[in-house]
Amino acid sequence: MVEQADVLRRTPLSRDRILRAAVALADGTGIESLSMRNLAQDLGVVPMALYKHVANKDELLDGMIDVVVGEIDPPVPDTGWKPTLRLRILAARRMLGRHPWAALAIESRNTATPGVLAYLDSMVGVLRAGGFSTDLAHHVMHAMGSRILGFSQELFDASRRAGRSGATGPEPAATFPPEAAGRFPHLAEIAGAASHDGGSVVAPGCDDQFEFEFALDLLLDGIERLHRQGWTSARHHRPDHVVGPG
Amino acid sequence: MVEQADVLRRTPLSRDRILRAAVALADGTGIESLSMRNLAQDLGVVPMALYKHVANKDELLDGMIDVVVGEIDPPVPDTGWKPTLRLRILAARRMLGRHPWAALAIESRNTATPGVLAYLDSMVGVLRAGGFSTDLAHHVMHAMGSRILGFSQELFDASRRAGRSGATGPEPAATFPPEAAGRFPHLAEIAGAASHDGGSVVAPGCDDQFEFEFALDLLLDGIERLHRQGWTSARHHRPDHVVGPG
DNA sequence: CATGGTGAGTGTACGGCGTACACCTGTCAA
DNA sequence: TTGACAGGTGTACGCCGTACACTCACCATG
């Protein structure tokens, strides 16, 4: 025991070890309970020791983001831009499933980390290789937005809840209490409409993965259509904002 | 002077007055510097006085959200679901322009506020009135996600920056420092590609409003297509996740 | 071997945060 | 007149990030 703790304490701190411990801590107890003090304690070290390896908490978060973004599977060479993008976005989504805190963390930062930039750059590369003009690729990247990193972009994302990850089972309807059904009839009507009557779905709630892929494919199909039509912003962009794929 | 302060102090506190002051404070100095202490000081009152009217800071934030969501123009009756949705979403976006902190605040909360639920309910109502099945309306609401509240859904939203709102002019490229251009060639190529060569655009950066409407119309057009085709999840939802609008 | 610089880890402290809890005080019904 | 009560106050606790001065092991150099 003492020996093991001793070994732990003797293992030298390093930026890498700190980042890995921070990711593990955030995975386990949620990002909101990731404090420099908790992290230091996990590492068997005094809080201020961390500051020899990371500038401050913001930089720590940036590092954590790059760690998890680096986990996203690289793009697999495929027949075209569309399946390549699709598969990689689904891979990013799997990463977010492992690190539910990452979405909010990335969105809260005001500046892009190198890892995120590298990811985005490679995604643009896929588009360009698929024959997209710089113009269209630009607008497509904006239109995809955070979805290109696998974000669900739902208003109330169950997996985003800051508390303990994993086993968020008990309350699928926590965001829509039953007593509100009367005041919001359309929502109530909609809520159970994920009847999934075609499949053997067990849960009464809706299938997150299905909703994600539905939205993703809706977007990708629209993009493909624009690409085939040779869409160009020159024909649509007007100062009075009569715009759009129309 | 003393008299005015006295009048201020004499004006009884109320939940409403607190919420309005909180919104004004967040608008002015950013959500991150909205503390119970600062807010109390603005109101000429001691911090703990606030707790007679709001349960805690989370409930305060919920109240603030409902205040600003209530500012969104009501839906204007129109020829159909598409322009109605479009106009109201653009109205929501204008609200977010006035209250840049609101997007992050709404996304960070894990439970829907009554105001947000009312907004969503009315949007579902528009879809249903437009002839959407409960099934399709359900999936459409998921696919729109936070965009239905006017969220840009961009990864690095300039207006989301927590600091001072307004006059964020000086650094449009803060998220993409020029020294990174070499390491991210595709991004560099894309960055300037918002050439807008068809219009009289002044700024070299891209036009947020254009990008937003581009993405919105891409989505709405796709939805319209599904609607016309009588899309139903029964034909697409399979347990093995071969899904999508295809 | 002595020495002195260097850098990792430590200890203390400060100002801020949300908020529990006991307290005062002005108002108003009985 | 009184006594309950609601709204505002003061103090205090335990968190937070982190500035700053420190100890001390290590190692290149004399």
Nearest to B245 by CA among A106, A33, A220, A197: A220
pLDDT at B127 over 80: yes
Q: Which of B77-81, B207-211, B240-244 has the lowest mean pLDDT?
A: B240-244
What one-character DSSP code corresponds to residue B155? Answer: S
pLDDT at B240 over 70: no
Token couple for A27 = 């995975």
Q: How far is it, in rounded angstroms, from Cα B94 to Cα B52?
A: 33
Q: Between B31 and B168, name the one with better pLDDT.
A: B31
Is B211 close to A139, i.e. CB distance below 8 A?
yes
pLDDT at B152 over 50: yes
Distance from CA of A105 to the nearest CA of B (A): 10
* A13 closest-nt by C1' vs CA: C8
Which amino acid is it at A172?
A: P
Which amino acid is it at A235?
A: R
Q: Give Cα separations from A239 to A127, A243, B185 (angstroms).
A: 27, 9, 29
- The domain locations on chain B are 9-54, 81-152+207-235
B window 197-216, beta carbon within 8 A of A: 197-201, 206-207, 209-211, 213-216
Q: Which of residues 28-47 of B touch strand D (CB under 7 A)?
A: 45-47
Mean pLDDT (chain A) is 85
- For residue A227, count other CB atoms closer than 10 A to its CB: 19
The CA-based dihedral angle spanning residues A24, A162, B19, B11, taken in that order and rounded to the nearest 10 degrees: -70
Fold of B9-54: Arc Repressor Mutant, subunit A (1.10.10)
Nearest to A102 by CA among A165, A57, A50, A53: A165
The whole-number Å distance from A45's CA to C9's C1' is 8
Distance from CA of A38 to the nearest CA of B (A): 22
Digit-coded pLDDT (tens) for A101-129? 999 999 998 889 999 999 999 999 999 99
Q: Which of residues 26-45 of A touch strand D (CB under 7 A)?
A: 33-38
Helices (H), chain A: 2-10, 15-29, 36-42, 57-69, 81-98, 101-108, 114-129, 134-144, 185-191, 208-228
Q: How far is it, in rounded angstroms, from Cα A99 to Cα A42?
A: 18
What is the predicted pLDDT for the residue at A164?
44
CB A206 within 8 A of CB B142: yes
Tokens 């309910």 label which residue? B121
Q: What percent of chain A clears pLDDT 90, i.e. is strictly above it? A: 68
Quick check: A5 contacting B, CB < 8 Å? Answer: no
Q: Which of A44-58, A191-205, A212-226, B202-216 has the lowest mean pLDDT?
A: A191-205
pLDDT level of residue B174 (50, 70, 90 thresholds): low
Rounded average pLDDT over B23-33? 96
Q: DSSP string of B48-63?
A: GGGGGTSSSHHHHHHH
pLDDT level of residue A202 (50, 70, 90 thresholds): very low
Rounded average pLDDT over B90-102? 97
pLDDT level of residue A174 (50, 70, 90 thresholds): low
Chain A, nearest residue to B221 by Cα = A246
**Centroid of chain to Cα B179:** 32
Quick check: A229 contacting B, CB < 8 Å? Answer: no
What is the predicted pLDDT for the residue at B77?
85
Quick check: B181 contacting A, CB < 8 Å? Answer: no
Rounded average pLDDT over A179-199? 75
Q: How far is it, in rounded angstroms, from Cα B231 to Cα B205?
A: 39
Distance from CA of A90 to the nearest CA of B (A): 12
What is the predicted pLDDT for the residue at B5?
44
A window 41-80, beta carbon within 8 A of B: none
Is A217 close to B117, i.e. CB distance below 8 A?
no
Rounded average pLDDT over B49-56? 98
User: Is the Cα dihedral B15, B17, B22, B23 positive or negative?
Assistant: positive
Q: How far is it, in rounded angstroms, from Cα B210 to Cα A155?
A: 23
Digit-coded pLDDT (tens) for A6-58? 444 457 899 999 999 999 999 999 999 999 999 999 999 999 999 999 999 99
Fold of A2-54: Arc Repressor Mutant, subunit A (1.10.10)
pLDDT at B80 over 80: yes
Identify, with chain letter, the residue nearest to nucleotide C10 (CA–C1'): A46
Q: How far is it, in rounded angstroms, from Cα B17 to Cα B43?
A: 9
Q: Between A199 and B48, name the one with better pLDDT.
A: B48
What is the predicted pLDDT for the residue at A197?
45
Q: What percent of chain B clears pLDDT 90, i.e. is strictly above it? A: 69
pLDDT level of residue A161 (50, 70, 90 thresholds): low
